[in-house]
Chain A
């Protein structure tokens, strides 16, 4: 087991190097002079030169890459061109809203989707099942931001139940305002997740319900609730957890859009501001940061399989 964990952790290293190499090459392979592209249309020759120096673009490419990789390993994601602050520091400043939004979305989506998917599987072919399947097709078709605006229009502008936009920190501004402001973004972002997770839950529970041990459990007179919880859902857990891991990539993209719709000052807004300002080190740093999170989370999910299902041994 320990050996497997060690092996699995080692396996993430080549993936991370590929990500780093890709992000590195993106800037160098883009058409035209990257320093000029970043400097923008109104830059003077000195500006371009300054950016070239700052990004180390005048050195041989192999030297650039090794230097850059060395900095990355030490947690140095580069320095913002405009604010001149380390990118890592900017990320720390903006991470709270993004993390809390992502967390509340996952929690809410799992709490809704898993019971819904299980029910749909248990009553396969019924109206609950049809509704879940319809919802899961629909959830994948409505763009996140359109959904966001529809919800703002109905719940905030017409019914005036919730604030329209903005973010309040639960640590400095209190729990109440925090929940009032995070509810709409969470609802918006979780729809696609509920669709994804409910669909997978339904599929894997349906499969498990046909197993012999479920029939045995029913035959010995166990209540249907216990059959579902103890026998069906537990055995269906691995694919459900896997799909949540895959969904992390979706979540990261969704967070950027949702933050933009709801004016939340998180990492998504940092990216968009950086795009407008052509502050490439920030974009680059954030891509690396999000990819790192994705890789680590999926590693943890991989390792959790044997906890969830004792039959999986390494």
Chain B
């Protein structure tokens, strides 16, 4: 707690959050793996063939002559599709993490600090939490049409309650701290107390939470694509590639295995970074979870 309870004004004098985090082995190796995947996502398209180019002669070919990962039922290069799918997966993961943390942070601060809003916000969050995330996402997407934006929105909404609960619990602890009471007694404005004393305390647990949200968002995106309820099928996302691979699974299992492995490795990297961050940044959570 000593680490997280430090007011922002003193934080600069201590080693930065990132420096502490990188000392942790899992953060370092998981982070390295993520950086590599991100580089592949950004620059991979330059070095691969067109992921949507159809080649009727080379249909359902095994890995080898017709590309490193083989080809699908339209003769498209699976390797190129997997490389290009990384970008979509990472975009969705990062976007969902940032948006749901931002909304959750705001609602959590409000619920934790303004007691009269607490009951209302928390009942809404309880309700939202009891709706199965995948069903909610499927319903939202089928109603508003499948685009990258609606998919991200549909994954964000069920993730918000967990962030709100986390922020709220931090705020409830912090507002009892002597330095917050002192600030209130000194007549500091509410928004200034929030900004200077409450907000800094939420940063460490939120960074940890963001990684978990990112990992689960990438999984949800793939599941939606796989179920045929995700982003439009012509976009080569990992979920979509696997969805198309289903029909010929017994014949050509590699169409599902390669994007599946890519997804699993990416989510694993994110989760390893998350676990490492939790251990090094947030001793409070680390104690209860380990």
Whether A associates with B in a native complex is yes
Interface string of A285-314 (1 = CB under 8 A from B): 011001100110010000000000000000
Residues of A close to B187: CB separation below 8 A: none
Which residues does chain A contribute within 8 Å of B288, judged by CB atoms? 203
- Choose one: B132, B257, B272; the contact of A253 (CB below 8 Å): B132
Q: Is the pair B226, A257 in contact by a Cβ cutoff of 8 Å?
A: yes
Query: Which A-chain residue is minimally distant from B267 (CB atoms)?
Result: A141
**A188 interface residue (CB < 8 Å to B):** no
In the complex, residue of chain A having the shortest beta-carbon distance to the beta carbon of B138: A275
* B contacts, CB < 8 Å to A: 123-124, 126-136, 138-140, 142-145, 215, 219, 222-223, 226-229, 242, 249-250, 253, 256-257, 260-261, 263-265, 267-268, 271-272, 275, 288-290
Could you tell me if A249 and B138 are in contact, using CB atoms closer than 8 angstroms?
no
How far, in whole Å, are A146 and B222 apart by their CA atoms in the complex? 10
Cβ-defined contact, A140 with B215, below 8 A: yes
Interface residue stretch chosen among A26-34, A66-74, A77-85: A26-34
B125 → chain A, closest Cβ, in Å? 9
Interface residues of A in 100-158 (CB under 8 A from B): 137-138, 140-146, 149-150, 152-153, 157
What are 14 A-B contacts with C-beta separation under 8 Å?
Answer: A16-B127, A18-B126, A18-B128, A26-B143, A140-B267, A142-B264, A144-B223, A146-B257, A146-B261, A256-B227, A257-B223, A283-B138, A287-B132, A287-B135
CB nearest neighbor in B for A140: B271
CB proximity of B234 to chain A, nearest CB, Å = 17
In the assembled complex, A213 has its CB within 8 A of some CB on chain B:
no
- Which one of B222, B250, B290 contacts A143 once the chains associate, using CB atoms below 8 Å? B222
Q: Which 3 A/B pairs are nearest by Cβ-Cβ distance?
A: A18-B127, A146-B260, A253-B134
Does the CB pair A252–B142 fall under 8 Å? no
B268 touches A149 (CB 8 A): no
Number of A-B contacts (CB under 8 A): 147
CB pair A271 B138 closer than 8 Å: yes
Given contacts A19-B130, A30-B144, A256-B227, whether A149 and B257 have CB atoms under 8 Å apart is yes
| Contact A34–B143 (Cβ < 8 Å) | yes
Do A283 and B135 form a contact, CB below 8 Å, given A19-B130, A143-B223? Answer: yes
Inter-chain contacts of B268 with A (CB < 8 A): 137-138, 141
Given contacts A138-B268, A260-B227, whether A149 and B133 have CB atoms under 8 Å apart is no
Residues of the A chain whose Cβ atoms lie less than 8 Å from the Cβ of B143: 26-27, 30, 34, 37, 280
Known contacts A249-B133, A257-B134: A146-B123 contact under CB 8 Å? no
Please tell me if A278 contacts chain B, counting CB pairs below 8 Å.
yes
Kindly provide the distance from the CB of A213 to the nearest chain B CB, expressed in whole angstroms: 20
User: Chain B binding site: helix, strand, loop or mixed by DSSP?
Assistant: helix
Interface flags for A207-234 (1: CB within 8 Å of B; 0: not) read 0000000000000000000000000000
Distance of B25 from chain A, by nearest CB (Å): 14
**CB-nearest residue of chain B relative to A254?**
B134
Q: Would you call B223 and A249 a contact (CB within 8 A)?
A: no
Which residues from chain B contact A257 at a C-beta distance below 8 Å?
134, 223, 226-227
| Chain A contact residues, CB within 8 Å of chain B | 14-19, 21-23, 26-27, 30-31, 34, 37, 137-138, 140-146, 149-150, 152-153, 157, 164, 199, 203, 206, 249, 252-253, 256-257, 260, 271-272, 275-276, 278, 280, 283-284, 286-287, 290-291, 294-295, 298
Judged by DSSP, the binding face of A is: helix
Choose one: B135, B142, B215; the contact of A141 (CB below 8 Å): B215
**CB-CB < 8 A to B263: which residues of A?**
143, 146
Min CB–CB distance A30 → chain B (angstroms) = 4
Which residues from chain A contact B267 at a C-beta distance below 8 Å? 140-143
Q: B132, A252: Cβ atoms under 8 Å?
A: yes
Residue from the list A27, A137, A150, A152 in contact with B275, Cβ < 8 A = A137
Query: Contact at B253–A143, with CB atoms within 8 Å?
Result: no
Q: In the complex, are the beta carbons of A253 and B271 less than 8 A apart?
A: no
> Which of B139, B256, B264, B272: most chain A CB closer than 10 A?
B139
- Determine whether the beta carbon of A283 is less than 8 Å from that of B260: no
Contact B131 A287 (CB under 8 A): yes
Q: Cα distance A146–B261 when bound, in Å?
A: 8
- Whether A143 contacts B134 by the Cβ 8 Å rule is no
**Closest-CB distance, B289 to chain A (whole angstroms):** 6
B123–A203 CB distance below 8 A: no
Q: Which residue of A lies closest to B245 (CB)?
A: A149
Which residues on the B side are within 8 Å of A278 (C-beta)?
A: 142
Residues of the B chain whose Cβ atoms lie less than 8 Å from the Cβ of A286: 135
Minimum distance in angstroms from A80 CB to a CB of chain B: 15
Closest to B126 in A: A15
**Bound complex: CA A280 to CA B261 (Å):** 34
Tell which of B130, B140, B219, B226 has the most Cβ of chain A within 10 Å: B130
Q: Do residues A203 and B130 form an inter-chain contact, with CB atoms below 8 A? A: no
- Complex Cα–Cα for A313 and B256 (A): 52
Assess the A294–B127 pair: CB atoms within 8 A: no
